Amino acid sequence: MNTMPQPDQRDASLEDARLDIMLRQVWDTPRGLWGALATVDHKVIARRYIITAFVFLAFGGVLALLMRWQLARPEGQLLGPDVYNQAFTVHGTSMMFLFAVPVMEAMAVYLVPLMVGTRNIAFPRLNAFSYWMYLVGGILLWGAFIVDLGPDIGWFAYVPLAGPQYGIGKRVDIWAQMITFTEISALAVAVEIVVTVLKQRAPGMSLDRIPLFVWAMLVTSFIVILAMPAVMVASTSLILDRLVGTHFFNPAEGGDVLLWQHLFWFFGHPEVYIIFLPAVGMISAMLPAFVRRPVFGYIPMVLALVGTGILSFGLWVHHMFTTGLPRLGESFFTASSMAIAVPSGIQIFCWLATIWYGRPVYRVPFLFILAFFFTFIIGGMTGVMVASVPLDTQLHDSYFVVAHFHYVLVGGAVFPLLGAVYYWFPKFTGRMMSERIGRWVAGLLFVAFNFTFFPMHLLGLLGMPRRVYTYQTEMAWGGLNLFVSVSAVMLAAGFLLFFLDAIRSARHGEPAGDNPWGAATLEWATSSPPPSYNFARIPLVQSADPLWDAGDELPVTSGLRVDRRELLVTTVGGALPEARESSPRCSLWPLWSAIATTALLMGSIVTPWAVVWGSVPVAIALIGWFWPGGSKEDES
Amino acid sequence: MRRRILLVSAALTACSGCSGWQSALDPQGPAAASLDRLLLGFVLVLGGIWLCVMLVLAAGLWRRAAATPGTARRRSAWAVGGACAATVLVVSGLTLASYLASRAAPLGQDEPLVIRVRGLQWWWEVVYPGADGQDLVTANEIHIPVGRPVRIELSAADVIHSFWVPNLAGKQDMIPGRDNVLTFTAWEAGTYRGQCAEFCGMQHARMAFLIVAESQESFDRWRAAQEAEAAAPAGEEEARGRQVFEQKPCGACHTIRGTEARGTTGPDLTHIASRQYLAAGVLPMTRGALAAWTADPQTIKPGNNMPLVPLTAAELQAVSAWLASLR
């Protein structure tokens, strides 16, 4: 696409070195505090997101260790019931809302623009705003916990326990508003990713050439957009019940306590796939680099992702099999819950076929992929068990379920994520993580994880309910619990080693080079770490594995202006160039808007009038944000 | 395999002979037994599949790839297609199996015994409806006759609870504003422990109950004894204890039939000493436990709804003596 030279400055005629200098002038985030607060660079924001999420992972892990200490012996005395109930609530809430979902979205915020070959994410200011909201939500939850105001109702906050009559104090309100913060940020990121994937792909990256990780994030983002409103409705109704005396969930006044469960799980089950699909996308992204061939069955893989996304909305009732719903309806949800094993199976079989005809290279990310296979499939199998209505009546709300969802979430999402950190760390920092320590981390985590969580299956079958702060000496659970607790310490040691390696490698790791794994996707076509503008010249994509098929010289396009932030908009289907679009510069307005929104939401924990008066600063900040800037209409 | 799991767990837990009294792996009635069989079937089928996948993975890592891309793609397509078809078949089979298992409600011919159980923070109210409207009210210990179906009508007074006796049946939630039913039969005489399975607040962990299955004759004897009013104080200390109980605010929450105590927000204490445990499975029933509980319920079970009623040492002694005599 060689457009005619225009009076404004284009990249076509420039030398590489000169182009770099000019693009840096336009795209670099200014140094200093102002730049740090005002930046809209997707890489800077994503890095913050990832680090913050891992900090919350570490906090949540500390709580898990405290709980395991408490349960190591019967009649444990470390935590009282009140602190224990806060601990498991904050652990679950933090892991789901502050770690798992944000970290997956953050990886996408970093990688998707690079993988599709564009210079910044769509709506970069919204991206900045989403990070601030997420940060405040996390601080709200943990700050409340530290001052003994942590929610104590479980991460799904069933009413009436969470309602005005039994959830006294402000603990539940804090939980509900934390949901609002994190949902706003998750929704914002989802919208950015959808638009980035659909409209900003490098020319030539037609739908059948999109990397599988990007497909996974596209499907995930649609799930977020469709599922999150349900929990926002739920948490808002809960706040209304608590704050202004509505009766959505009060059976005495015509409300319904099961309504909460329906709304929550209509979000809560897709939530699992919001965490899991990015992880399978990561597997599909990493696997080819370690078996030296593309993933087998691109189209079945994509269809499986889409199928999982659709089916994920049809099985929320399997969290409610013991509530006494009509039998026929339950059977339907058994069938749909089991049906989701089929798309998951397709992906696993395709990966197996990929490995079968490949030549595996046993680097650390690949070890995590193997750990994923071992553990996640166990979690999938126990998932089939809890999908059966009759079996679930024994397994539900017991430690069997605790084991099951940790196998799915840690085995299915955290192992791939840690592999992904090892895999993309060189791209993030320009340095490799330690291969030697990484093997220890992978091995330790794999063994310790299975030692920690496998016995919980048995504990559940032996009748131990979840969420108990202690158990009596006459129960037969002491030995297994002690074993689990000791293993949990080992698991924590594995994570500690991982954190130490990451911190050390960020400064002292070996320099990585652009493409240390010899991978095929576009993020490896630019330097490590990438410059602020990502690509000096937008790549031209001619196959699904551009870096493998293009030989030494990746074809590029030209014609973008270099005197302002500009990126290329392409068509949804064929990724044909459509327009040049300006991309926003740094701005403090997202931060001001986040502060104003924070004031509104925090105030509403105390008084409903905060929603009225608090909306004034929000409106002012938004007007400032959207005030028409100086840039002219974008040219087609 | 299940045997082995049991053995392993038994070895690990190294517990006394009580390991089976709250366990889904030790079914003592048809409902739990059918779930146990279903569990075994699922574990065998799914474990087998897991093993196959792991073997294929291991073989794939072991072998050295040698196939032209065209052949590789064709073979992979067949293998993946076949595996997906097998997944569909297995999943359909398991769905059918669980549908059949949930349909087969083993009721038998007998008229079921109806018991109403209400969940409260954090104890269980148990009501045996009487023919003449004279309901028998007790708490935390449910006696049932062996071999006769029992129909438990479940409700909740405050928040959601869940009724679970893993040896006898799967769990069923108790939900405010809704009525649920659970039916099961016990094969043999024995004591089975149950526990609240849905998180219900501060003392969720200390909300247990017992099911005592016994022969029809001993059940009838038990019921007749329970229907009687509280025994008259046997001695002077017991009489003083009754006096203290009636003077203090105890009767505002508790009922002891045959006395002035008529409260209904706490457990019925008419025959409290006949139960095996105190405070919903927390303490074995002894006079000492009764004294300790009455003296300071908030230390033993923090957050529960029983307030501390200040008593002198002598009053405490007398009250515990009287309560311990309420058999």
Distance from CA of B120 to the nearest CA of A (A): 12
CA geometry: angle A516, A522, A524, nearest 5 deg: 15
Name the amino acid, one letter, at B25: L
**Inter-chain CB proximity A475 and B180 less than 8 Å:** no
Return phi, psi of residue A196, to 5°.
-60, -45
Contacts of A64 (CB under 8 A, 6+ apart): A91, A488
Q: How far apart are alpha carbons B280 and B206 in whole angstroms?
A: 7
pLDDT at residue B208 tops 80:
yes
Do residues A341 and B88 make contact, with C-beta atoms less than 8 angstroms apart?
A: no
User: What digits encode the pLDDT tens for the residues A414-426?
Assistant: 999 999 999 999 9
Average confidence score pLDDT of chain A: 93
Contacts of B213 (CB under 8 A, 6+ apart): B28, B143, B144, B145, B146, B186, B188, B189, B190, B191, B192
* A336 contacts in chain B (CB < 8 Å): none
**Inter-chain CB proximity A349 and B84 less than 8 Å:** yes
What pLDDT is stored for residue B107 in this prediction? 57
Helix, strand, or coil (residue A491): helix
What pLDDT is stored for residue A1 in this prediction? 39
pLDDT at residue A6 tops 70:
no
User: What digits encode the pLDDT tens for the residues B183-197?
Assistant: 999 999 999 999 999
Q: How far apart are alpha carbons B86 and B48 in whole angstroms?
A: 13
Nearest in space to A468 (alpha carbons), one of A71, A115, A202:
A71
pLDDT at residue B2 tops 80:
no
pLDDT at residue A331 tops 90:
no
What pLDDT is stored for residue A7 in this prediction? 54
- In three-state form (DSSP H/G/I as H, E/B as E, the rest C), the secondary structure along A230-272 is HHHHHHHHHHHHHHCCCCCCCHHHCCCHHHHHHHHHHHHHHHH
What pLDDT is stored for residue B212 in this prediction? 97
For residue B154, give the chain A residue with the closest CA.
A324
Q: How far apart are alpha carbons A195 and A210 in whole angstroms?
A: 14
Contacts 24+ apart (CB under 8 A), B65-74: B65/A356, B65/A357, B65/A358, B65/A359, B67/A357, B72/A357, B73/A296
- For residue A160, cis peptide bond before it (omega within 30 degrees of 0): yes
What pLDDT is stored for residue A8 in this prediction? 64
CA geometry: angle A542, A547, A553, nearest 5 deg: 80
Under the banding of pLDDT at 50, 70 and 90, the label for residue A330 is confident
For residue B48, give the chain A residue with the closest CA.
A381
Q: What is the mean pLDDT of residues B272-295?
A: 95
Name the amino acid, one letter, at B53: V
**In DSSP terms, which residues pair with B190 in a beta bridge?**
B213
Nearest in space to A217 (alpha carbons), one of A64, A105, A139, A298:
A105
DSSP state of B17: T
Q: Residues of B numbered 29-88 whose beta carbons fall under 8 angstroms of chain A's beta carbons: which are they? A: 32, 34-35, 38-39, 42-43, 46-47, 49-50, 53-54, 56-57, 59-61, 63-65, 67, 72-73, 76-77, 79-80, 83-84, 87-88
Return phi, psi of residue B187, to 5°.
-75, -45
Q: How far apart are alpha carbons A33 and A419 in whole angstroms?
A: 33
Q: Which range among A386-395, A522-531, B5-14 shows the weakest confidence by mean pLDDT?
A: B5-14
More reliable by pLDDT, B65 or A239? A239
Nearest in space to A584 (alpha carbons), one of A122, A21, A32:
A122
Under the banding of pLDDT at 50, 70 and 90, the label for residue A571 is very high
Nearest in space to A363 (alpha carbons), one of A282, A440, A438, A432:
A438
Q: How far apart are alpha carbons A164 and A477 in whole angstroms?
A: 35
Considering only the beta carbons, identify the residue of B60, B63, B94 that sits closest to A384: B94
Q: How far apart are alpha carbons A347 and A303 in whole angstroms?
A: 10
Nearest in space to B92 (alpha carbons), one of A633, A483, A336, A558:
A336
Q: How far apart are alpha carbons A424 and A72 in whole angstroms?
A: 37
C-alpha neighbours within 13 Å on the C-beta side of residue A294: 21
- Chains A, B: CB pairs < 8 Å: 258
For residue A362, give the chain B residue with the closest CA.
B61
B149 touching A (Cβ < 8 Å): no
* B162 contacts in chain A (CB < 8 Å): 322, 397
pLDDT at residue A411 tops 90:
yes
Distance from CA of A103 to the nearest CA of B (A): 29
What pLDDT is stored for residue B69 in this prediction? 74
* A160 contacts in chain B (CB < 8 Å): 158-160, 176
Distance from CA of A337 to the nearest CA of B (A): 10
Under the banding of pLDDT at 50, 70 and 90, the label for residue A5 is very low
Under the banding of pLDDT at 50, 70 and 90, the label for residue A550 is confident
* Tokens, residue B132: 């003449």
**How many other CB atoms are there within 10 angstroms of residue A168's CB atom?**
9
For residue A251, give the chain B residue with the closest CA.
B177
Percent of chain A residues topping a pLDDT of 90: 86
**In DSSP terms, which residues pair with A10 in a beta bridge?**
A561
A574-to-A104, A193, B209 alpha-carbon distances in Å? 27, 18, 65
pLDDT at residue B64 tops 70:
yes
**Inter-chain CB proximity A160 and B72 less than 8 Å:** no
Contacts of A444 (CB under 8 A, 6+ apart): A490, A491, A493, A494, A497
pLDDT at residue B300 tops 60:
yes
Q: Is A312 exposed, middle or buried (0-12, 13-18, 19+ CB in 10 A)?
A: buried
Nearest in space to B232 (alpha carbons), one of B327, B122, B126:
B327
User: What digits encode the pLDDT tens for the residues A118-142?
Assistant: 999 999 999 999 999 999 999 999 9
Nearest-Å Rg of the Cα atoms of chain B is 26
Beta-strand ranges (E) seen in chain B are 113-120, 123-128, 136-139, 141-145, 150-156, 161-163, 172-174, 180-184, 190-195, 208-214, 277-278, 283-284
User: What digits encode the pLDDT tens for the residues A71-98?
Assistant: 999 999 999 999 999 999 999 999 999 9
What pLDDT is stored for residue B13 in this prediction? 46
Average confidence score pLDDT of chain B: 90
Q: How many residues does chain B have?
A: 327
pLDDT at residue B16 tops 60:
no
Do residues A449 and A495 make contact, with C-beta atoms less than 8 angstroms apart?
A: no
pLDDT at residue B12 tops 60:
no
Give the rounded distance of the alpha carbon of A441 from its chain centre. Answer: 22
pLDDT at residue A408 tops 90:
yes
User: What digits encode the pLDDT tens for the residues A590-616?
Assistant: 999 999 999 999 999 999 899 999 999
DSSP secondary structure of A433-470? PPHHHHHHHHHHHHHHHHHHHHHHHHHHHTTPBSS-S-
Considering only the beta carbons, identify the residue of B13, B46, B204 that sits closest to A468: B204
For residue A467, give the chain B residue with the closest CA.
B199
Considering only the beta carbons, identify the residue of A85, A339, A398 that sits closest to B202: A85
Q: What is the mean pLDDT of residues A512-518?
A: 93
Q: How far apart are alpha carbons A623 and A536 in whole angstroms?
A: 34
What pLDDT is stored for residue B6 in this prediction? 52
Do residues A332 and A397 make contact, with C-beta atoms less than 8 angstroms apart?
A: no
What pLDDT is stored for residue A9 in this prediction? 73
**Inter-chain CB proximity A355 and B60 less than 8 Å:** yes
What pLDDT is stored for residue A2 in this prediction? 43
**Inter-chain CB proximity B84 and A352 less than 8 Å:** no
Considering only the beta carbons, identify the residue of A297, A355, A465 that sits closest to B197: A465
pLDDT at residue A280 tops 50:
yes
**In DSSP terms, which residues pair with B195 in a beta bridge?**
B208
Region of residue A554 (phi > 0: left; psi between -120 and 50: alpha; otherwise: beta): beta
**In DSSP terms, which residues pair with A138 in a beta bridge?**
none
Nearest-Å Rg of the Cα atoms of chain A is 25
Q: How far apart are alpha carbons A402 and A412 in whole angstroms?
A: 14
What pLDDT is stored for residue B104 in this prediction? 63
C-alpha neighbours within 13 Å on the C-beta side of residue A404: 20
User: What digits encode the pLDDT tens for the residues A191-248?
Assistant: 999 999 999 999 999 999 999 999 999 999 999 999 999 999 999 999 999 999 999 9
Distance from CA of A426 to the nearest CA of B (A): 26
A69-to-A23, A201, A288, A445, A488 alpha-carbon distances in Å? 54, 50, 41, 19, 9
CA geometry: angle A475, A477, A478, nearest 5 deg: 100
Q: How far apart are alpha carbons B219 and A83 in whole angstroms?
A: 42
* Tokens, residue B127: 């009501």
**Inter-chain CB proximity B38 and A374 less than 8 Å:** no
Do residues A386 and A318 make contact, with C-beta atoms less than 8 angstroms apart?
A: yes
What pLDDT is stored for residue B14 in this prediction? 42
* A300 contacts in chain B (CB < 8 Å): 80
Considering only the beta carbons, identify the residue of A81, A389, A455 that sits closest to B205: A81
Distance from CA of A386 to the nearest CA of B (A): 10
User: What digits encode the pLDDT tens for the residues A161-171?
Assistant: 999 999 989 99
Distance from CA of A109 to the nearest CA of B (A): 32
Distance from CA of B197 to the nearest CA of A (A): 5
For residue A398, give the chain B residue with the closest CA.
B197
What pLDDT is stored for residue B20 in this prediction? 78
What pLDDT is stored for residue B134 in this prediction? 85
B161 touching A (Cβ < 8 Å): no
